[in-house]
Amino acid sequence: MNILVINAGSSSLKYQLLNPETGVLLAKGLCERIGIDGKFTYKPQIEGKQVLDAVDVAMPTHSEAIQAVLNALVDKDNGVIGSMKEIDAVGHRVVHGGEAFNKSVLITDEVMKALEDCIPLAPLHNPANITGINACTAVMGKDVPQVAVFDTAFHQTMPAKAYMYALPYEYYENDKVRRYGFHGTSHKYVSQRAAAMLGKKPEELKLISCHLGNGSSVTAVDGGKSVDTSMGFTPLAGLPMGTRAGDLDAGILQYLMNKYDMNIDTMLDILNKKSGVQGVSGVSSDFRDLENAHKEGNERAGLAVDMFNYGVKKLIGAYAAAMGGVDAIIFTAGVGENDALERMQIASGLEYMGVKMDEDAKAVLAEAEKTKAGYEAQLKSADEEIARRKREANEALQHAVDERRAQAEQQAGEIVRKAREDAAREHERVMEQARGEISELMSAAAEKLVLSSTSDAYDKFLDTAEERKDNG
């Protein structure tokens, strides 16, 4: 069974084609800088196939990114499958499920409608997720099962004191306005992976997971469960991100809207697509571009990065206080996993917790023997695609395939039952015909027997009469 896993983010799209039953990975890759200057990476895991590393591919939207992935997988020379028919199921990371979904689901028309209803809650992400689903459906048809794995599901364990907003309560009761949190598949996986690396059960640990990339969030994980997270009702809340403003005073919106005669849609477009480190720097939403610009003397680029790092550091301190301690700090996603400088700058200043950066190991280690706190922090890299494969998408997709198999078996049973009924009716018809024919044969035989008996008796009568006449 081959599973295509799609993770469509706000400006990137990661993918893997794998066989979860054998663990064999056929291909993986990345579409990045979507809407900027598209870069396409394709890494087939079959010997003799060519690797494409960050080649230029025009990807103005996610539709072109999905098509680039599918074209590469079935390429006659460099592909790893012969056709789309060899893909048995597709798993999609979906950012927002509202309160409608607290677990992974098989995608149906009703689910698609619910995802569309959640677009206002995740305007940068849900449209990309829906595009990925529709593109796969267009190419592979509706017979291939597709499953949605929700970023919001992991955070359903947050207590009310963490997810409620200090608004009139009826807005929660009637409109479900609350903190939902995102990047749940990532936070869940890396927290479980960190526990395994520490040789402990997730239930024994207090962890802080820092998912840092174009979209960023920090989550407090206590005993294996999310108890607080930085994103909120939408992915706009929390840290300043690539193009998103993060937390800010709501009064600013009224001030700017009144001054510049903007409506709310224009304001939200600014907050979602023109703010964050891109808005502050005026350079880019990509942290690599910001670091290069800062090296060349762009102070605004440096300010944007400093604001981001400061925000992460504040959240680490806040969540350590909320949980009453922390056993490990985890860094993951594009920036957290790959940018050692960012990790260094974030860890700097956490010495009061006993934390220092080990540059050689590229990890944050705690010197417990030198501090009263005894906190440890470790940097752990993680692959979001493996998270979905090993944790949620795999189970959900297998469930979908099992459901299809059960339906097929039920249909087959109906066919067999009908065939048996038809055979029984045909048998009864043949038996009835046979009984009729036998009855006719028996009647004819009986008639013949009667005639034969009558003839014998008549002959005997004649003989007797003749005898009497002679004796007369």
Q: For residues 300, 306, 307 and 310, what is the CA-based torsion angle, rounded to 10 degrees?
A: -170
Asked if residue 357 lies in contact with residue 339, where contact means CB atoms within 8 angstroms, the answer is no
Q: Is residue 260 a contact partner of residue 269, using CB atoms and an 8 Å limit?
A: no
User: Over the range 27-57, which residues count as b (16 or more CB within 10 Å of their CB) and which as e?
Assistant: bbbbbbbbeeebbbbbbbeeeebeebeeeeb
Q: Do 18 and 398 meet the contact criterion of CB atoms below 8 Å apart?
A: no
Residue 124 contacts residue 244 (beta carbons within 8 Å): yes
Close Cβ partners of 433 (under 8 Å, ≥ 6 residues apart) = none
Q: What are the DSSP E strand ranges found in 68-169?
A: 89-94, 105-106, 146-150
Whose tokens are 């907003």? That residue is 165
Longest dimension (CA), the chain: 160
Active-site residue identified among 37, 88, 151, 247: 151
Is 117 marked active-site? no
Closest Cα to residue 185, out of 333, 328, 329? Answer: 333
Give the H or E element holding residue 57. none
- Among all chains, which residue has been given the structure tokens 């997720």? 129
Q: Which own/partner pairs from 404-410 qualify as long-range (CB within 8 Å, at least 24 positions apart)?
A: 404/145
Instruction: Transcribe 210-259 into DSSP letters.
Output: EE-SSS-EEEEEETTEEEEES--SSTTSSS--SS---S--HHHHHHHHHH
Q: Are strands 12-19 and 3-8 parallel, antiparallel or unpaired?
A: antiparallel
Burial string for 287-323 (b: 16+ CB within 10 Å, else e) reads bebbbebbeeebebbbebbebbbebbbebbbebbebb
Helix (H) or strand (E) holding 124: none
Instruction: Tell me how far apart the alpha carbons of residues 38 and 31 are, in angstroms, rounded to a whole number.
Output: 7
Hey, which residues are catalytic here? 151
